Each structure stands twice: as C-alpha cells, then as structure tokens.
C-alpha cells in the first residue's frame, strides 16, 4: 500500500503546500519508503510510497515526458505488462512501476481508463493542459479512498487514502465509492464497474457451477498476486479461505522454484531469492529462486484458528509463524486500532485488533506483502447467518449487498490493519475475473442445506478425492471445517474480554444519554458505545458518515459474532 493526498484547484496552492505535505505525512505509515509531491496549476499531489514493484525506479508522483500529466497511485496493476504492449501510441516509460501505464491509458481512453485496469487501486491524475482531475477507485474498494470538500475553499476538491489527512482541511467527507471515477469536468462520480450481477440484482443467475472453472480462476487470481520484488507471505487463520490461498501460493512457489532450478541447470547458474513478475501473456514468470513461503497466524493460547493454522502449515510445508497475544495486548491496542481503522464498527474492531498486532510482527521480519482471504464469505454466502436465507433470490441479493459493502468492512480492515505498519495485503477472492465466475453461478448452488455446509461449492472445487493424479490441496478436516469468524477464531476469550471491559468503561447512565451529535446513529451496546467514544477522540463528528455498523440479516441477534448464531457448532466452545 501507499498513501496519497491531493487537492485540486486550491485558491493558493503554494501557500497550501506545507499543509499538504503535513497531510501526506499523516499517512506515511502506509508508504514509509519514499515521499514525493508535484504541483501543476493550482493542484498538488502528495505521495508516500511503499515499494513492491519497480522498487528502484517507481517513485511518485509519476509524470509524463512533457510534464503535462501527473499521477499519484495507491495500489497494484496486475496487467500492466499487457496494457503496455497494447498501447496504440508509443509512450516513453520512465520507470518499471506497474502504475505508470495509467498515464498513457488516460491519453488514449480518457475517462474510461479504469475499465482497463486489473488490480487494486486508488489514484488521482491531473491533466495540466485541461486543468482537469480524474480520480478512480478499484471495483470493490480494496484500497481505501476518500473525497472531501471544505467550506473554507469552495471549488477545491480533496482526495486521500485515509480520513486522518482529510478532516483537518475538510468539513465534508465521503468514502469514495468503489468502481467509480470522478471527473472534475462534470464534478461528478460515475460508475465504471458495471457487471450485470452487480447492477441488476433482481436478475438471478442460472449458470450451473463449473468446479474446474472455479478452481482454475482462483488459482490464476493467486498467481497474478504473487507479482512482487520483495519478500511476501500469507495470512493463515486455519479457516477454509486463507488455507486455500496459502495452498495455491505454496504450490505456485514450489512450481516456480522447480522451473528456476531447471533453467539454472540449463544456463549453468544458481538461482537465489529474486523477482517474480507478470509476463506479456498475463502469466507469472521468474528466472530466479523464490524464498520459502512464510505463513502467519495469531491467537490467544490454544485458539481454534492457531491450532488449525499450524496443521495447515505443516501439511503445506510453509515456514510458519504463530504469534500469541494476551488479552491485555489487545485491549491496550484498541485506541490505536480505531485511529488507524477510522471506524467504530464492532465486528471490524474485534477482528482488526489481532490483525493489527500480527501485521506489526510481520513487517518487523522484513515481509512487505501478504496474501489474505477476505471476500469469500460475501461471495459464497459463507457467514453462518446465511443458514437462514429463505430462498436463492434472497441469498443472491444478500451476497451482492455484502460484496458492495466490503469497502466499509473486511476490505477496510485488511487494508488499514496492515498498512498501519507499511504492509500490503492482497485479496485473491476479489479478483475481477473470479468475481465474474463466482457471482454468475446459480445461487441455488450456494444455499446451505442439511446436505451442504456453507461454501460447499468452493470446498468441492478443491476436493481432489476423485482425482488420484492430483495432490490434495488441504487436509480433509480443514477443507470441510465449519466457518469460524476471525474475531472468534483467535480465541473466544477475546470477545468476552472486550465485553467485560466495556461494562467497566460505559455505565448504564451513559447508555441512557448518548451524545447529541450522534443523531440517530446511537450505539446499541456498551461495547459499541465505548468504541464510538474512542473514535470521537480521534475524529470530528462529520467523519462518522463514512462508517457503517453491521449486523446480520435474517437474524434477531444484536451481537455480530458468528458464535452468537444458533447454528454455530458447539464443539468450539470447549476451547474457551
């Protein structure tokens, strides 16, 4: 991840520059490797860089040869090599950065530029000749992005990766909607990501599941996300989703290392840990050995996830690291977690705290990029409350709603918990092609029945029982393990401790007298009240409009924990 801040048409941009640099500094944790800025007309772009691809030559903002187009990007463009080859007009690239291709794409495709990109991204591009800004966010909102305005500078528009570098200069802030592009010519946001499954939720797919296609598409998604020039790893909770990602990544690492050995024998060279990249055919390629794949898990002592993760790591042969945290460690980190998350949603904070602690440890080991399993539960109806889906149409619409809200929940958690320490998380389940495959399957295939556990079709796609020539992807007990939400799986004592501390911090009298500035967004539990108070210590009231509090559909529960769902397997309670 990187951090960006930009202001378009500031009335006095030179005078504003020191403030803009200060706002950029507020997200330096996202990009600790280099800082840059660019001013053209009355627009300033500020960039804090985390170098993953084009390490030595990809400093930003990026500027074309004529210095008429400048660009600040947070993210990764996986198909940049293909896009470079497909340009109609030759372009003199200055860097090896995967992001620089956005400039010539803009020169050829204008406002349609983001439609061509395969990746996760938030970017601001300034055209000096037209004095025009175009900004865009990836289809699902994997990267965080905000748009702001100020009553003190009417006509100016501000953009940033996080709230903390907007609220000091803006009094009107929104979460930049995923899959949209902003054009200063019209001063409007327009949807560019418009697949039928997303924009026509009443049109229920009828396509039968193709297990081979489902497996192959996810494998390709993981493969392209191994594009990196730095050490990387996988977050491994021991649940189905992260375990599948780890399994595919490990297979790919082994395959590429075997290929590198053959090439080395042919060339008479030895391959050391080195580069991985996407070639001109959108295939992962390497000519050097990759390091052993590192996997990481976290939990309280004896937590369900930590035990399962170790079993998966041993099965796959990854170099596994288990971090144990105490209840006090987690409680002490809460204020920092909420500052980085910029949210007061209960389930997001519960799950983010262990991830925040783990990310710090991972970065200290020299790892700069990790793969993570977010998105699968939303796509396949994997949360336990989906047991209560009344029919396939209702299930399909709920999966669409949940995927559409990912940027306010799990994507926000994954992005900000990791980037707080200069670590980048990539999420293969949210690949555009994989989404197209999975969201166009007849939702009847995703229904949970007496014969089908949640995410049955995903599990079945990677079940090689009937394929003797194919090595198993996972141990059977992991492949068919019941859903365990991350905030539960790190140890049930974690959520219980949060509730207990909230009882101490928030009195009954406080619950009866919520703050007037909260309006109708009143916390419904002492835990939620406590988090909202910590949020208010960091952010002004108008920032609350960017937060979404979540509770499950088809359920009367008020606690978002999976453990509160009646269908949760009681065997896990023995690990309390």
pLDDT at 287 over 50: no
Sequence-separated (6 or more) residues with CB below 8 Å from residue 330: 353, 354, 357, 494, 497, 498
- The alpha carbon of residue 576 and the mean position of all alpha carbons in its chain are separated, in whole angstroms, by 30
The highest-confidence range among 184-188, 231-235, 281-285, by mean pLDDT, is: 184-188
pLDDT band at residue 554, thresholds of 50, 70 and 90? confident
* Contact present, 447 and 395 (Cβ < 8 Å): yes
pLDDT at 270 over 60: no
pLDDT at 490 over 90: no
Q: Of the candidates 305, 242, 234, which has an alpha carbon nearest to the alpha carbon of residue 473? A: 242
* Contact present, 363 and 419 (Cβ < 8 Å): no
pLDDT at 244 over 70: yes
Of 2, 99, 411, 543, the catalytic one is 2
- The pLDDT of residue 258 is 84
Has 298 been labeled as part of a binding site?
Answer: yes
Has 54 been labeled as part of a binding site?
Answer: no
Mean pLDDT value of segment 275-279? 57
Sign of the torsion formed by the C-alpha atoms of 436, 72, 540 and 191: negative
Q: Fold match between 3-194 and 211-491?
A: no
Q: What percentage of the chain carries pLDDT values higher than 90?
A: 80
- The alpha carbon of residue 146 and the mean position of all alpha carbons in its chain are separated, in whole angstroms, by 15
Q: What is the homologous superfamily of the domain 211-491 according to CATH?
A: HUPs (3.40.50.620)
* Contact present, 106 and 77 (Cβ < 8 Å): no
What residue spans define the domains of the chain? 3-194, 211-491
Residue keyed to tokens 């990790």: 370
pLDDT at 395 over 50: yes
110 in the Ramachandran plot: left (φ > 0), alpha (ψ -120 to 50) or beta? Answer: left
- The pLDDT of residue 205 is 98
Q: Of the candidates 228, 208, 234, which has an alpha carbon nearest to the alpha carbon of residue 309? A: 234
Q: What percentage of the chain carries pLDDT values higher than 70?
A: 89
pLDDT at 327 over 90: yes
* Contact present, 377 and 383 (Cβ < 8 Å): yes
Mean pLDDT of the chain: 91
Has 559 been labeled as part of a binding site?
Answer: no
Mean pLDDT value of segment 303-311? 89
**Residue 333: other Cβ atoms inside 10 A:** 18
Write out pLDDT tens, residues 397-449. Answer: 999 999 999 999 999 999 999 999 999 999 999 999 999 999 999 999 999 99
Write out pLDDT tens, residues 42-86. Answer: 999 999 988 767 666 558 999 999 999 999 999 999 999 999 999
Has 235 been labeled as part of a binding site?
Answer: yes
> What kind and span of H or E run contains 504?
helix 492-505
pTM as predicted: 0.93
- The pLDDT of residue 570 is 43
pLDDT at 562 over 80: no
- The pLDDT of residue 576 is 36
Has 372 been labeled as part of a binding site?
Answer: yes
Q: What are phi and psi of 211, to 5 degrees?
A: -65, -35
pLDDT at 501 over 50: yes
pLDDT at 488 over 90: no
pLDDT at 249 over 50: yes
Mean pLDDT value of segment 338-358? 97
How many helical (H) and strand (E) elements, i.e. helices and strands, does the chain have? 19, 19
* Contact present, 354 and 298 (Cβ < 8 Å): yes
pLDDT band at residue 133, thresholds of 50, 70 and 90? very high
User: What is the token pair recorded at 131?
Assistant: 């004095």
Mean pLDDT value of segment 297-305? 89
What's the CATH fold of domain 3-194?
3.60.20
- The pLDDT of residue 272 is 46
Residue 2 bears catalytic tag: yes
What are the Cα distances from residue 87, in Å, to 92, 106, 128, 133? 11, 11, 22, 22
3-class secondary-structure state, position 234? strand
- The pLDDT of residue 551 is 73
| Residue 365 CB burial class (10 angstroms; 0-12, 13-18, ≥19) | exposed
| Residue 188 CB burial class (10 angstroms; 0-12, 13-18, ≥19) | exposed
pLDDT at 25 over 80: yes
């Amino acid at each position: 991840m990187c951090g960006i801040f930009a202001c378009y048409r500031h009335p006095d941009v030179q005078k504003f520059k020191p403030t803009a640099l200060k706002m950029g500094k507020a997200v330096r944790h996202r990009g600790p490797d280099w800082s840059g800025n660019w001013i053209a007309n009355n627009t300033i772009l500020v960039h804090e860089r985390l170098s993953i691809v084009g390490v030595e030559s990809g400093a930003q903002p990026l500027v074309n040869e004529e210095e008429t187009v400048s660009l600040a990007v947070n993210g990764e463009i996986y198909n940049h090599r293909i896009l470079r080859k497909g340009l109609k007009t030759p372009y003199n690239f200055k860097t090896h950065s995967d992001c620089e291709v956005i400039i010539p794409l803009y020169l050829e495709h204008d406002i349609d530029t983001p439609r061509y990109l395969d990746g996760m991204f938030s970017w601001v591009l300034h055209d000096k000749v037209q004095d025009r800004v175009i900004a865009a966010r990836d289809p699902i909102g994997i990267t965080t992005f905000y748009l702001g305005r100020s009553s003190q500078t009417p006509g100016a528009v501000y953009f940033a990766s996080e709230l903390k570098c907007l609220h000091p200069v803006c009094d009107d802030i929104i979460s930049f909607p995923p899959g949209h592009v902003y054009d200063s010519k019209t001063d409007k946001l327009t949807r560019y990501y418009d697949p039928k499954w997303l924009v026509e939720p009443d049109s229920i797919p009828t396509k039968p599941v193709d297990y081979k296609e489902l497996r192959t598409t996810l494998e390709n998604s993981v493969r392209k996300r191994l594009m990196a020039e730095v050490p990387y790893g996988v977050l491994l909770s021991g649940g189905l989703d992260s375990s599948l990602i780890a399994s595919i990544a490990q297979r790919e690492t082994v395959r590429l290392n075997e290929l590198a050995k053959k090439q080395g024998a042919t060339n008479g060279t030895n391959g050391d840990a080195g580069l991985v990249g996407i070639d001109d055919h959108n295939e992962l390629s390497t000519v050097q050995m990759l390091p052993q794949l590192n996997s990481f898990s976290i939990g309280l002592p004896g937590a369900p996830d930590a035990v399962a993760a170790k079993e998966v790591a041993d099965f796959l042969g990854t170099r596994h690291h288990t971090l144990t945290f105490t209840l006090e460690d987690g409680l002490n980190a809460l204020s920092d977690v909420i500052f980085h998350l910029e949210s007061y949603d209960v389930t997001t904070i519960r799950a983010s705290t262990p991830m925040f602690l783990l990310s710090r440890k991972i970065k200290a080991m020299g790892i700069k990029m990790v793969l993570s399993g977010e998105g699968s539960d939303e796509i396949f109806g994997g949360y336990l409350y989906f047991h209560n889906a009344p029919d396939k149409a209702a299930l399909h619409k709920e999966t669409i709603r949940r995927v559409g809200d990912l940027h306010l929940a799990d994507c926000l958690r994954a992005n900000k918990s990791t980037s707080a320490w200069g670590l980048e998380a990539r999420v293969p389940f949210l690949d555009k092609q994989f989404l197209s495959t999975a969201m166009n399957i007849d939702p009847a295939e995703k229904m949970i029945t007496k014969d089908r556990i949640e995410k049955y079709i995903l599990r079945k796609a990677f079940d090689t029982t009937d394929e003797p020539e194919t090595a198993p992807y996972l141990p059977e007990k992991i492949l068919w393990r019941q859903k365990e939400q991350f905030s539960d799986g790190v140890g049930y004592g974690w959520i219980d401790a949060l509730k207990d501390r909230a009882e101490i911090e928030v009195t009954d009298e406080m619950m009866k007298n919520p703050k007037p500035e909260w309006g109708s967004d009143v916390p419904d539990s002492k835990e939620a009240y406590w988090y909202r108070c910590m949020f208010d210590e960091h952010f002004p009231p108008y920032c609350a409009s960017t937060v979404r509090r979540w509770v499950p559909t088809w359920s009367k529960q008020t606690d978002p924990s999976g453990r509160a769902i009646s269908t949760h397997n009681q065997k896990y309670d023995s690990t309390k």
